[in-house]
Amino acid sequence: MSFKVTVIGGGPGGYVAAIRAAQLGAQVNLIEMDSLGGTCLNVGCIPTKALLHVAGTYEGLNKSNSMGINVGNISLDWPSALHYQQSIVKRLVSGVGGLLKANNVTVYNGRARLIDPRRIEVDGKIIESDKIILAVGSEPAKLQFPGHELDNVIDSSAALFLESIPESMVVIGGGAIGVEFATMYNSFGAKVTIVEMLPQLLPSTDSEIVNLVCNDLRQKGIDILTSARLQEVCKRDQYLQVLVDHEGEKKQLDTQKVLIAVGRTPRTSGIGLENVGINMERGKIKVDSNFMTNIPDIYAVGDCNGQMMLAHVASAQGVAAVEHAFGHDPVYFGHILPACIFTHPEVASVGLTEEQARQRKIAINVGVFSLSGNGKALIESEGKGAIKIISGDKYKEILGVHIWGPHATDLIAEAALAMRLEATLDELISTIHAHPTIGEAMPEAALATDGMAIHWPPGLSVN
């Protein structure tokens, strides 16, 4: 059976859904109001990580004398760094366009609006469809506070295209976005302060790993204020004056830029959801386990359903939604969703944190291995980092893995696969890992559950 499928949104959820629908034999239209690739490719994952790579390289070169490399005076050519960033973005956006064309997906550039459950308007043109996939993404969350309209109060999109490196920056929000930008601009030489309302940075990350990360950020000169609320931003000569309530104490921070990085909100207004009667909850599109809305044959994937705002999650949901629309039984493991934070070194996690497991009263064991006991980590990051594994007490099944260290965002794939295959600690331990690699610390963390790590003294804390 051949369907007409229309996908609204060309980000990682939308373009992947469109390609999968085409592979299954559908006649596919994709509507994107801006550039293909969505937030991730244009003002999110890719440009941020490109600049973080520049920042990491710059930071590394400034420390290269300790490795016997004398490179003289290092300077940052910021316009060239931005050009490098945009060259990566343009190449990937072009690649998405090429993939859609190769799969015979018809692309419309314009703003879509649902007329009814079968018809969509794009700049006056009506497109009829049997199935509709909403993949309209998200936008930076906005805070309303005195001074929010001042010129040097910026969001994460604007922070990617500053004319120059600021002397100082206050980052409001200590989640993944805020911490990544703090890392980046600190490496470039800005004096950075992070202001987070909650008691810890990176609230969804295992607290033991967060403590290690925060200690490292502070050693690099980043100030961290947790349990702190932004009160007001005022203009003072060439600076902004940021007023913060920190645990009941009033603090004044003078800075050139204030970055608002308090997360993202679904971009669901103005697309005609009310015309169709799609159920919403606090701006999010409500979906079932197959990502179908309350209206048959209309699905919502990625950031707009608010389940977990990550590009790879959007792509997986897009595939699952299309396969369900075609009558297949999609496979989507919503409890095995890796998350990555590109600090220096990186942070990555999958599954339950220790806190979550204990809150659910799950009987667990915990193993932690310090990467200062790993040769490759000593070479790459002076031994900074740790791997933590949460496992079930009875069967030793892996319930969560949390990593801070070099290549953490690549290593987490092994952990996700282990969980997908319902692997146990014994299976991880008995899998021979190559040496010298960071990966060989994974079975060491599993061994540490019973205090049997080979390359770490018994009873010695990793902190």
Given a contact cutoff of 8 angstroms between Cβ atoms, the answer to whether 143 and 195 are in contact is no
**Could you give phi then psi for residue 66, rounded to 5 degrees?**
-65, -20
With vertex at residue 177, the alpha carbon angle to CA 262 and CA 388, rounded to the nearest 5 degrees, is: 115
How far apart CA 446 and CA 455 sit, in angstroms, is: 12
Q: Tell me phi and psi for residue 111, to 5 degrees.
A: -95, 125
Q: Which helix (H) or strand (E) holds 420?
A: helix 408-420
Q: What is the 3-state secondary structure (H, E, C) of 133-155?
A: EECCCEEECCCCCCCCCCCCEEE
Q: Which residues contact 395 (CB under 8 A, 6 or more apart)?
A: 424
Q: How far apart are CA 459 and CA 463, in angstroms?
A: 12
Q: Pull the structure tokens for residue 235.
A: 């203009």
Residue ranges of alpha helices (H) inside 297-372 are 311-325, 354-359
The CA-based diameter of the chain, rounded to the nearest angstrom, is: 70
Q: Which residue is catalytic, options 312, 328, 435, 455?
A: 435
Of the candidates 52, 53, 50, 12, which has an alpha carbon nearest to the alpha carbon of residue 30? 12
Torsion of CA 260, 50, 335, 463, to 10 degrees: -80
Phi, psi of 191 (to 5 degrees): -85, 115
Residue of 244, 262, 240 lying closest to 151 (CA atoms): 240
Task: Locate all alpha helices (DSSP H) within 138-280, ordered by sequence.
Answer: 176-187, 207-219, 273-276
Strand stretches in 302-392, DSSP E: 339-341, 346-351, 364-370, 386-392
435 is catalytic: yes
SS3 189: coil
Please state the separation of Cα 219 from the chain's center in Å: 24
**Catalytic residue annotation:** 435
